[in-house]
A and B are shown apart, each in its own frame.
Chain A
Amino acid sequence: METGLGIGTTDCVGQIVDGDDGELVLREKQGAKLELGDLVVVDNERAKYICMVSKLTYGSLIHPDRILTSSGSMLEGVNPRLEFPDKDLRIFRQVHVKPLLEVVFENGRLVDRAPRSIPEFMSKARMASAQDFSFMEAPKMKVFIGNIRSGSRTLPVEYSMDGERLLSHHVLVSAQTGRGKSNLVKVLLWEAMRHGKFGVLVMDVHNEYYGTPASPGLKDHPDAARALVFYSRSPPPGQQLLKINLKSINPEDLMGVVQFSNAQEETLEQLRRQHGANWVSELLAINEEDDSFKKTKGTIRALKRKVCNIFNLRETQEGYECADGVFDLEKMGEETVNDMAQALEGGKIVLIDGSSISDDTGLVIASAVLRKVFDRYDYYKSSGILGEKAQVGVVLEEAPRLLSGAYGDNIFSRIAREGRKFRIGLIAITQLASVIPREILANIGTKVIMGNEMALERKAIAESAAQDLADFDRIIAGLEVGEAIVSSIFSKFPVPVKVPKFEDLAGRERKVEKERAQAQPAPAKRYF
Chain B
Amino acid sequence: MKFAHMADLHLGAVSDPKMKGLESSTLEKAFRICEEKGVDFVIIAGDIFHINIPDLSVVKEAVEVFKRFTDTGRKIYVVYGSHDFSPNSTSIIDVLEAAGVVVRVGKPSASEGKLRPEVVTDEMTGAKITGISGRRTSLEKEAFTDLDRDYLKAVDGFKIFVFHTGLLEMRREGEKFDGISQSMLPDGFDYYAGGHIHRVFVDKSGRVVFPGPLFTGWGADLEATVLGERRGFYMVEADQKGKPRLEFVELKPFEGIHKVVDATGKTAEEINEELRLWATEVDATGKVVLLKVQGELSSGRTSDIEFGLIREILAESGAIYLHLNRNALRTKEMGMVTAMGESAEEIEGKIFKEMAGAVKGRDGNPVVKDEPAAAARLLSVLRNPKQEGESLEDYFARMSREARSVLGILSEDGSPAKGGSEGGAKASDERGGVKARTAGRRGQS
Which A residues have a C-beta under 8 Å from some C-beta of B? 234-241, 243, 245, 247-248, 277, 321, 325, 328, 331-336, 338-339, 522, 525-528
Interface residues of B in 95-154 (CB under 8 A from A): 108, 110, 113, 115, 133, 135, 140, 142-147, 149
- The answer to whether A241 touches B182, judged by C-beta atoms less than 8 angstroms apart, is yes
B87 at the A interface (CB under 8 A):
yes
Partner of B204, one of A234, A247, A332: A332
Given A527-B115, A528-B80: A237 touches B169 (CB 8 Å cut-off): no
Partner of B87, one of A239, A325, A528: A528
20 contacts between A and B (CB under 8 A): A235-B183, A237-B145, A237-B183, A238-B145, A238-B181, A239-B183, A240-B168, A240-B181, A241-B169, A321-B204, A331-B170, A332-B169, A332-B203, A335-B173, A527-B110, A527-B115, A527-B143, A528-B80, A528-B87, A528-B108
- The answer to whether A331 touches B147, judged by C-beta atoms less than 8 angstroms apart, is no
- The answer to whether A339 touches B168, judged by C-beta atoms less than 8 angstroms apart, is yes
- The answer to whether B145 touches A335, judged by C-beta atoms less than 8 angstroms apart, is no
A169 to chain B, nearest CB (A): 31
A126 to chain B, nearest CB (A): 55
Identify the 10 closest CB pairs spanning chains A and B, nearest first: A527-B108, A335-B171, A235-B183, A334-B173, A240-B181, A243-B169, A241-B182, A241-B183, A528-B133, A332-B169
- The answer to whether B143 touches A238, judged by C-beta atoms less than 8 angstroms apart, is no
Docked Cα-Cα span, A522 to B140, in Å, equals 18
Which chain B positions have C-beta within 8 A of A277?
A: 173
Q: Which residue of B lies closest to A526 (CB)?
A: B87
Docked Cα-Cα span, A331 to B149, in Å, equals 28
Which chain B positions have C-beta within 8 A of A248?
A: 173
Docked Cα-Cα span, A235 to B183, in Å, equals 6
- The answer to whether B181 touches A241, judged by C-beta atoms less than 8 angstroms apart, is yes
Partner of A334, one of B113, B146, B171: B171
Q: Which residue of B lies closest to A333 (CB)?
A: B169
A31 to chain B, nearest CB (A): 60
Which chain A positions have C-beta within 8 A of B362?
A: none
Q: Produce 1/0 per residue, B155-193, CB < 8 A to A.
A: 000000000000011111111000001111000000000
- The answer to whether B133 touches A331, judged by C-beta atoms less than 8 angstroms apart, is no
B344 to chain A, nearest CB (A): 15
Which chain A positions have C-beta within 8 A of B110?
A: 525, 527
Q: Which residue of B lies closest to A238 (CB)?
A: B145
Given A333-B169, A339-B168: A237 touches B184 (CB 8 Å cut-off): yes
Docked Cα-Cα span, A325 to B80, in Å, equals 32
Q: Which residue of A lies closest to B85 (CB)?
A: A528
B128 to chain A, nearest CB (A): 19
6 additional contacts (CB under 8 A) given A237-B144, A238-B145, A240-B183: A237-B184, A240-B168, A332-B204, A338-B173, A528-B80, A528-B133
Q: Which residue of A lies closest to B135 (CB)?
A: A528
Docked Cα-Cα span, A335 to B170, in Å, equals 8
Q: Which residue of A lies closest to B141 (CB)?
A: A238
Given A335-B168, A339-B168, A528-B87: A237 touches B173 (CB 8 Å cut-off): no
A160 to chain B, nearest CB (A): 33
Tell me the interface secondary structure of chain A in the complex: loop
Docked Cα-Cα span, A243 to B170, in Å, equals 10
Docked Cα-Cα span, A248 to B172, in Å, equals 11
Which chain A positions have C-beta within 8 A of B143?
A: 527-528
A195 to chain B, nearest CB (A): 24
Given A237-B147, A528-B80, A528-B108: A522 touches B169 (CB 8 Å cut-off): no
B123 to chain A, nearest CB (A): 25
- The answer to whether A525 touches B146, judged by C-beta atoms less than 8 angstroms apart, is yes
A371 to chain B, nearest CB (A): 15
Docked Cα-Cα span, A336 to B171, in Å, equals 9
Docked Cα-Cα span, A258 to B188, in Å, equals 39
Which chain A positions have C-beta within 8 A of B278?
A: none
Q: Which residue of B lies closest to A528 (CB)?
A: B133
- The answer to whether A335 touches B172, judged by C-beta atoms less than 8 angstroms apart, is yes
Docked Cα-Cα span, A335 to B110, in Å, equals 34
Docked Cα-Cα span, A527 to B135, in Å, equals 10
Docked Cα-Cα span, A9 to B261, in Å, equals 88
Docked Cα-Cα span, A331 to B85, in Å, equals 30
Docked Cα-Cα span, A311 to B217, in Å, equals 41
- The answer to whether A336 touches B183, judged by C-beta atoms less than 8 angstroms apart, is no
Which chain A positions have C-beta within 8 A of B173?
A: 245, 247-248, 277, 334-335, 338
A524 to chain B, nearest CB (A): 9
- The answer to whether A525 touches B169, judged by C-beta atoms less than 8 angstroms apart, is no
- The answer to whether A239 touches B172, judged by C-beta atoms less than 8 angstroms apart, is no
Docked Cα-Cα span, A528 to B165, in Å, equals 14
Q: Give the residue among B87, B115, B144, B169 with the most A Cβ atoms within 10 A.
A: B169
B347 to chain A, nearest CB (A): 14
Q: Which residue of B lies closest to A328 (CB)?
A: B204
- The answer to whether A237 touches B204, judged by C-beta atoms less than 8 angstroms apart, is no
Docked Cα-Cα span, A332 to B167, in Å, equals 10
Q: Give the residue among B133, B149, B172, B201 with the most A Cβ atoms within 10 A.
A: B172
Docked Cα-Cα span, A241 to B146, in Å, equals 18
Q: Which residue of A lies closest to B173 (CB)?
A: A334
Which chain A positions have C-beta within 8 A of B115?
A: 527
Docked Cα-Cα span, A236 to B203, in Å, equals 19
A400 to chain B, nearest CB (A): 34
- The answer to whether A331 touches B201, judged by C-beta atoms less than 8 angstroms apart, is yes
A140 to chain B, nearest CB (A): 24
Which chain B positions have C-beta within 8 A of A334?
A: 171-173, 175
Docked Cα-Cα span, A438 to B170, in Å, equals 45
Q: Give the residue among B146, B174, B181 with the most A Cβ atoms within 10 A.
A: B181
- The answer to whether B183 touches A238, judged by C-beta atoms less than 8 angstroms apart, is yes
Given A527-B115, A528-B87, A528-B135: A332 touches B183 (CB 8 Å cut-off): no
Docked Cα-Cα span, A336 to B184, in Å, equals 16
Given A241-B183, A525-B110: A332 touches B170 (CB 8 Å cut-off): yes
Q: Which residue of A lies closest to B79 (CB)?
A: A528
Docked Cα-Cα span, A33 to B118, in Å, equals 72
Q: Which residue of B lies closest to A245 (CB)?
A: B173
Docked Cα-Cα span, A235 to B169, in Å, equals 13
- The answer to whether B87 touches A525, judged by C-beta atoms less than 8 angstroms apart, is no
Q: Produce 1/0 per residue, B46-89, CB < 8 A to A.
A: 00000000000000000000000000000000001000010100
Which chain A positions have C-beta within 8 A of B87?
A: 526, 528
Docked Cα-Cα span, A489 to B383, in Å, equals 51
Q: Which residue of B lies closest to A240 (CB)?
A: B181
Docked Cα-Cα span, A241 to B170, in Å, equals 11
Which chain B positions have C-beta within 8 A of A243?
A: 169, 182
A231 to chain B, nearest CB (A): 9
B204 to chain A, nearest CB (A): 7
B209 to chain A, nearest CB (A): 13
Which chain B positions have C-beta within 8 A of A238?
A: 144-145, 181, 183-184
Which chain A positions have C-beta within 8 A of B144?
A: 237-238
- The answer to whether B113 touches A522, judged by C-beta atoms less than 8 angstroms apart, is yes
A331 to chain B, nearest CB (A): 7
A183 to chain B, nearest CB (A): 28
Which chain B positions have C-beta within 8 A of A522?
A: 113
Docked Cα-Cα span, A334 to B104, in Å, equals 33
Docked Cα-Cα span, A334 to B201, in Å, equals 14
Docked Cα-Cα span, A457 to B212, in Å, equals 60
Q: Which residue of A lies closest to B205 (CB)?
A: A325
Docked Cα-Cα span, A230 to B147, in Å, equals 19
- The answer to whether B169 touches A336, judged by C-beta atoms less than 8 angstroms apart, is yes
Docked Cα-Cα span, A335 to B183, in Å, equals 16
Docked Cα-Cα span, A334 to B182, in Å, equals 14
Which chain B positions have C-beta within 8 A of A245?
A: 173
Which chain A positions have C-beta within 8 A of B204?
A: 321, 325, 328, 332
A374 to chain B, nearest CB (A): 18
Docked Cα-Cα span, A239 to B172, in Å, equals 20
B381 to chain A, nearest CB (A): 31
Q: Which residue of A lies closest to B134 (CB)?
A: A528
